[in-house]
Amino acid sequence: MAISSGLMIAAEAQAEGYVGDSFAKMMDDTGVNLELRNFYFNRDFKSKQWNDATPAQRLPDIRESWAQGVRLNVESGYFMDLIGIDAAWYGSLKLVGKDDKWGSGALRTATEKDIKERDGVKYVEAKQKSYDKLGQVFLKTRFGDESLNAHINAGRMFMDTGLLNDSDSRVTPSTTQAIYADINWDAFTLYGFSSDKASTKTQSGFHKYKGPSYTYSGTTVTEGKEGDWKINSIGARFDTGEGYGLDVQLAKAKDYKKMDYLNAYYTLNISEDTSILFDGYYYKGKGDGKYLEKVEHNGKLKEWDSKLWNLVAQLRVSDLKFAISYQKVDGDFYDYLWGGSDDNGLMTWNAVQYWDFNNKDEKSWMAKVDYDFSNLGLPGFNFMTRYVKGEYHEQAGSTKKTRHEWERDTDLSYAFQDGALKGLTITLRNATFRTYGTDSLNENRLIVDYTIALL
């Protein structure tokens, strides 16, 4: 008995030691950082017609705000090399934001509660306010070794897939509530997820994907029925890390819509300083039932149906890159959103700062130049400019009108390389967009990012 009791005590002590060591390793592998983003935004619509629009579309002609963003990110290690938890708190503090210039996406956004009525006329009254939220919190697990492994994440997280991705283009990012899993074997990854809620950049809560839904296609539509849905997706990715790969993804929201996605890329290395990247994207979307409105085709109502493809070639010579891109929509306006509060976006090269060039049957060309000034004695200084021109046809009574639109974007950024300011990046971003109708605009953004490692 004495020997048995001794063995049990030794086993318990060994187990306690293992648990203690595992917890200590998890804490050693845990990282905490503070991200500060100072963000100024000004968008000036040149047509000055937004205030004359219908109540649902009525927005200020000038949208302006200045905010200080704060993100506290916690990325834990794995307890017993198996399980961990990540979290992120986001906040946006209002510095400047007049109530008649709301809609920048940097401060609290308008909701249905902001639609007021006075003397029988509806209008939007939205105050620009600070906000904060628990943007991410999810449980994570991992299995396997370096060559064959799997991960499962469950909770609220930042998604980055071809058919469901979050956006970080303002003060704080949008995030998604989902269960995500992947299996990785060398260069091959099989992944999938199920998502039931999302939160836009400025929302404090998470909301279901729901309708009725509208597609801004410029065609007559019928309203979808009231309801909510989940998005389920599966995909496979092959990435060698040597400049070529393939990503295929399928996603469906039952009774709403389904979409397919394909991305293939290949880098041709000509010399140490010269290469050509070939990149291609294909999207296919179709309505899937009662929750998505029908679209009129030749006097008949049919399910929304659209395809979009994009082909790109980019030449790199040392620190200079030059790209040309062609994009074509076949069918209806390509509506990549999933309804409700998702902040999804296109991954194509012609989906730029403001516009995506995804109108019904639209075709567009893009030219882009990037330059890194490191070899000129200015490490950390980068320049980008691009120009996109699109053309589509719009039904105007009994005739079709050809519409043209274009966008020019310019980015200047500088990242401090050393000293106390290392980790500080300043970005100036300008966009000019011209089109038929109410959307022609000039836009400026000034972004200052600074990351501080706390742990």
No. of helices (H) and no. of strands (E), the chain: 1, 24
* pTM metric for this prediction: 0.90
Locate 427 and state its tokens. Answer: 């970005």
Enter the DSSP assignment of 51: G
Predicted pLDDT of residue 400? 77
**Residues near 147 by Cβ (< 8 Å), separated by ≥ 6?**
185, 186
Cβ pair 164, 180 in contact under 8 A: no
Strands 131-144 and 274-287: unpaired
User: What does the pLDDT read at residue 224?
Assistant: 54
The pLDDT, as a whole number, for residue 120 is 65
Within 274-347, strands assigned E span 274-287, 294-297, 300-303, 305-317, 320-331
Which amino acid would we find at residue 361?
D
Question: Any residues with CB less than 8 A from the CB of 21 and at least 6 apart, and which?
Answer: none
Please name the helix (run of DSSP H) or strand (run of DSSP E) that holds residue 72, with its range, or none.
strand 62-75
Q: Which two tokens stand for residue 219?
A: 């065609």
CB count within 10 Å of CB 448 equals 15
Which residues, including other chains, have CB under 8 Å from residue 375's CB and lie 6 or more apart? 318, 319
Buried b (16+ CB within 10 A) or exposed e, 106-117: bbbbbeeeeeee
Angle at 417 between CA 454 and CA 385, to 5 degrees: 115
Please, which residues have CB within 8 angstroms of residue 41's CB and are 6 or more apart in sequence? 63, 64, 65, 66, 104, 105, 106, 170, 443, 444, 445
Q: Which residues of the chain have pLDDT under 50?
A: 52-57, 214-223
Burial track 289-304 (b if 16+ CB lie within 10 A, e otherwise): bebbbbbeeeeeeeeb
Left if phi > 0, otherwise alpha if psi is -120 to 50, otherwise beta: which for 10? alpha
Q: How far apart are the first and last CA of the chain?
A: 48
**Residue in the block written with tokens 């500088």:** 414
Strands 31-45 and 188-199: unpaired
Distance in angstroms (rounded) separating the CA atoms of residues 193 and 184? 15
Helix/strand/coil percent split, the chain, to 5: 10, 55, 35
- The distance from CA 265 to its chain's CA centroid, rounded to whole angstroms, is 20
Q: How far is CA 123 from CA 31, 47, 55, 391, in A?
A: 47, 19, 6, 33
* The pLDDT value given to residue 290: 81
> What pLDDT score does 148 carry?
96
CA 329 to CA 346: how far, in whole Å?
Answer: 13
State the Cα–Cα distance between residues 185 and 248, nearest whole angstrom.
16
